Copies of this chain bind each other. A is one copy, B any other.
Amino acid sequence: MKEKISFKNDYSEGAHPRILELLAQTNLQQEPGYGYDSLSEQAKAAILRFLNDQETPIYFVAGGTQANLLVISHLLKPYESIIAAESGHIHVHETGAIEATGHKINTVPQSNGKLTPDNILKVISLHTDEHMVKPAMLYISQTTELGSIYSKEELQELSDLCKEHNLKLFIDGARMAAALSSDQHQLRLNDIAQYADVFYIGVTKNAGLLGEAIVFPNAQLAEGFSYSLKQKGALMAKGRILGAQFLALFEDDLYFELGKHANQQAMRIATALEDAGFRFALQPESNQLFPILPHQVIERLLEDFEFYVWEKLDAGESIVRIVTSWATNPTDVDRFIAKINGLKTKQVSQG
């Protein structure tokens, strides 16, 4: 049986070769444990090159759910809650990780995967006394779980709203690479640092074996964070593994280049689908595409490719999710496009 090409997600492969090389090169260096190793130190310096404030505290952890539960439990008082979209990863796909640290998530309807000021203000206006939790933080994902991207203007607006209502703004950047490599939005890492009180930069979905860098532009919020890391089981004895990922990806522009590659391959697919006359559930912006395809088309594509059927619609159609990554081979995309064109031609010739 031939191996199918997978567009299921952006963490199917290992790591960019430079990371493995760096691990090998430094393997027998004796290093201090628990994050005080020289690789982590250099990795922090490498990230800081992209930020204005050189005193910004940075911590490395292994994964996204870990980063989310750490930041939220570190910053909220017991009776404080966090506002998130109904489609937010912390609400839907983290097995109650946030609630397990004692905090309620106030969900608001999403629009194109994003939170809107109106919906946030509704939640705030409902929470007025001690019989309800006190919203104290806003959680957004950039890119969102649905592949959409908050523009600078949208981020500014949310940031202003947060300041006015005394909410901390926390940005989940598991797919930050895709957001910062979009042609439509000229976003840079330092922009994110302008708007967020705390955010993280994920590499697991962009060429790292593991790792999220938690960044505190609001530096005083980081006080005691190393204690939280240890308490929640997130402080790695050999911090060098995490350091190596970020050092290799941020000592030059590799992280952003790989993000751009993923986006470009996605756009090639998106264009082919559009040309073939298919609609999208969400406008393509990054490395996650949500085209609406007839079941016949889906069946034919699944003969050679793997991807998720996201949501069944009426009338013989479904939304599917197609994901590209840093490792997506352009020739695999060629094949996918050829297949689509083949189907189109066939439809035309049948028509």
**A125-167 interface (Cβ within 8 A of B):** 130-134
* A94 near B23: Cβ-Cβ < 8 Å: no
* A95 near B209: Cβ-Cβ < 8 Å: no
* A9 near B28: Cβ-Cβ < 8 Å: no
Q: How far is the CA of A156 from the CA of B20 in the complex (A)?
A: 44
Using Cβ atoms and an 8 Å threshold, which residues of chain B touch A31? 12-13
* B95 near A133: Cβ-Cβ < 8 Å: yes
Q: How many residues of A contact B (CB 8 A)?
A: 74
For the complex, is A26 an interface residue (Cβ under 8 Å from B)?
Answer: yes
Q: How far is the CA of A99 from the CA of B107 in the complex (A)?
A: 14
Q: How far is the CA of A69 from the CA of B93 in the complex (A)?
A: 21
Q: Nearest Cβ in chain B — how far from A230, in angstroms?
A: 4
Contact of A236 among B17, B63, B132 (CB under 8 A): B63
* A237 near B78: Cβ-Cβ < 8 Å: no
For the complex, is A186 an interface residue (Cβ under 8 Å from B)?
Answer: no
Q: Nearest Cβ in chain B — how far from A49, in angstroms?
A: 25
* B20 near A209: Cβ-Cβ < 8 Å: no
Known: A27-B20, A236-B62, A237-B204. A229 touches B12 (CB 8 A): no
Type the 1/0 row for A195-228, where 1 means its CB is closer than 8 Å to any CB of B: 0000000001100011000000000000010111
* B228 near A79: Cβ-Cβ < 8 Å: yes
Contact of A230 among B94, B204, B230, B233 (CB under 8 A): B94
Using Cβ atoms and an 8 Å threshold, which residues of chain B touch A3? 30
Q: Nearest Cβ in chain B — how far from A107, in angstroms?
A: 8
Using Cβ atoms and an 8 Å threshold, which residues of chain B touch A205? 237
For the complex, is A117 an interface residue (Cβ under 8 Å from B)?
Answer: no
For the complex, is A96 an interface residue (Cβ under 8 Å from B)?
Answer: yes
* B13 near A29: Cβ-Cβ < 8 Å: yes
Known: A74-B78, A230-B65. A134 touches B23 (CB 8 A): no
Q: How far is the CA of A230 from the CA of B233 in the complex (A)?
A: 13
* B26 near A14: Cβ-Cβ < 8 Å: yes
Using Cβ atoms and an 8 Å threshold, which residues of chain B touch A11? 33, 237-238
* A17 near B13: Cβ-Cβ < 8 Å: no
Q: How far is the CA of A114 from the CA of B134 in the complex (A)?
A: 26
**A1-42 interface (Cβ within 8 A of B):** 3, 6, 9, 11-15, 17, 20, 23-24, 26-34
Given A63-B233, A232-B232; 8 other pairs, CB 8 A cutoff: A12-B32, A13-B28, A14-B23, A15-B27, A70-B233, A78-B101, A79-B228, A209-B238
Sample 17 A-B pairs with CB under 8 A, ordered by A number. A12-B30, A12-B33, A13-B29, A14-B23, A14-B27, A62-B233, A65-B235, A79-B224, A79-B227, A95-B230, A99-B102, A99-B103, A101-B102, A134-B224, A210-B236, A210-B237, A210-B241
